[in-house]
Structure 1
């Protein structure tokens, strides 16, 4: 393991540079701060694993724990400086103020949505679900939890899912991924929700309203910030209806619609057709769809409108 001097846990001068960069909003500083935060969580993971071990062997001395702790701290910094667990990437997006579709961003969804990328592990997304907000059932006002988001869109998701022949939870998961459980839903200049739950862009085929915003796209495997126009709807129901029409009227999504009842084939078909530029798009949707946050939110949502 090669460690650059600036990555050493004993080098405290790095924090002075981070403090200066933070004042100016420097991009590199934002990423460094996010990596430091991920390193702290990784260190805690190591600590918990050590605590669950059988203890020191017979050769262990009184200083073993001290040096093990130093080693774990250095390993945490080293791991987070590369691809890491995926949490740093999501924190960077959040700190940059991205209003485009992102995975949920509070504490329990980070294990389900960032865990989705091939280089992101499941525990990373667990840190993102408890505080996410979503569109409420009335006029696009924000809710406080994934449950509120699901309650607002579930009837529309179930109707659209029947037309597409897929489980409703898959459409809810896609909407959660695109909007961060509603927290990053695209809004117009007046702060009104566009109800664009699926990140569908506006082009010459679209005759309705549109909203321009900054989004994150993957180009040659690298994230890039771009300005783009997105479709705007008057209601959640209209958004889901248009999503169904969008897929059915576009030949490129024929493979996705020919899923044979398989949710994973459906989302993989979307990815193969270029629905999103994120190379882990399908995996992320399925992670959210099968995660505990989704299960609890669905149960709560179904109880709410069944009463």
Structure 2
């Protein structure tokens, strides 16, 4: 049975035929269902665009809005049947269907419509784009950051940078990793910029007057006379996790207030206690929390893959 998809959004008979075909032949109806789904998506998109516009003036009424909505729904359906944005084809591929397409280079908006999942910004890197007489060069995209979604991944991806910074401070690498894990929830609660980029700020170092780089404002809890108070503070933004470790070292070594902590770095408990006393953190239990993470089961399990024959991290 090869029933045609609904040609208008009010064609309930066509929709009923499509449902019947889907029950009889799932593979054969997959493309049609995918197009219907894309048309619904485009209807929502058009509706949001309409709502973002200002009123059309005195001629606008409930009747004009009604027919405008009908037009948008019909338009969305026709666009999806004519190729649409490529969402239907992508959905069909993800559900295991075969999409009839020929291999061709990916570039420009037409290719994005036909191959939405395959397009990458690499085709535009270094290209000059013009808009309204202005010209700009698209910069190359940075390499994607390593995925940190478990304590094991957190330790594995940060171990090398932690080891270098720890050697300069005089503490064990797992001590710095425990502090970073406490500050960021094992990397799951890193501060992000307004455009969604990671700040890479593993130690939640604030952007004071000495900081000349990028900063981001976020609410944080500070303990004043033992009472937790919510405040809005500026935090430093780094280009990488390695830069975060490097700035952590510079932040401590460049301030006389942390001199005593640096002198006691051979003892992790004394080191973090001195940091707390010097005002690195206002949480009265900060040192104990870091040590708890350092000696916890999650840290022990995360260190197993990088342990040497003598049961010490390499």
TM-score by length of 1: 0.52
How far does the alpha carbon of each residue in 1:71-100 deviate from its partner, in whole angstroms, 9 at most, with x for none? xxxxxxxxxxxxxxxxxxxxxxxxxxxxxx
Q: How far apart are residue 139 of structure 1 and its match?
A: 3.9
How far does the alpha carbon of each residue in 1:88-131 deviate from its partner, in whole angstroms, 9 at most, with x for none? xxxxxxxxxxxxxxxxxxxxxxxxxxxxxxxxxxxxxxxxxxxx
2:273 is the alignment partner of 1:268: yes
Larger Rg over CA atoms? 2
SS at match of 2:209: coil
2:180 is the alignment partner of 1:156: no
1:207 to 206, 212, 219: 212
Q: How far apart are residue 144 of structure 1 and its match?
A: 2.3
Q: Within 5 Å, give how 1:145-224 maps onto structure 2.
A: 145-224=150-229
Q: How far apart are residue 141 of structure 1 and its match?
A: 5.6
Q: How far apart are residue 266 of structure 1 and its match?
A: 0.8
Q: What residue number does 2:304 align with?
A: 299
SS at match of 1:197: coil
Q: How far apart are residue 140 of structure 1 and its match?
A: 4.0
Q: How far apart are residue 300 of structure 1 and its match?
A: 2.8
Q: How far apart are residue 213 of structure 1 and its match?
A: 0.7
- The more displaced of 220-229 and 162-171 is 220-229
TM-score by length of 2: 0.51
Conserved 8 A contact 2:199-2:239: yes
**Which runs of no fewer than 5 residues in structure 2 stay unpaired?**
1-142
**Which runs of no fewer than 5 residues in structure 1 stay unpaired?**
1-137
Note the aligned Cα RMSD (angstroms): 1.9
Q: What residue number does 2:40 align with?
A: none
- CA separation in 1, counterparts of 2:222 and 2:144? 29
Q: What residue number does 2:264 align with?
A: 259
- CA separation in 1, counterparts of 2:269 and 2:180? 16
Q: What residue number does 2:249 align with?
A: 244
Tell me how many residue pairs correspond in the alignment: 168
Q: How far apart are residue 295 of structure 1 and its match?
A: 1.0
Q: Within 5 Å, give how 1:137-152 maps onto structure 2.
A: 139-140=144-145, 142-152=147-157
2:233 to 228, 232, 236: 228
- CA separation in 2, counterparts of 1:302 and 1:211? 37
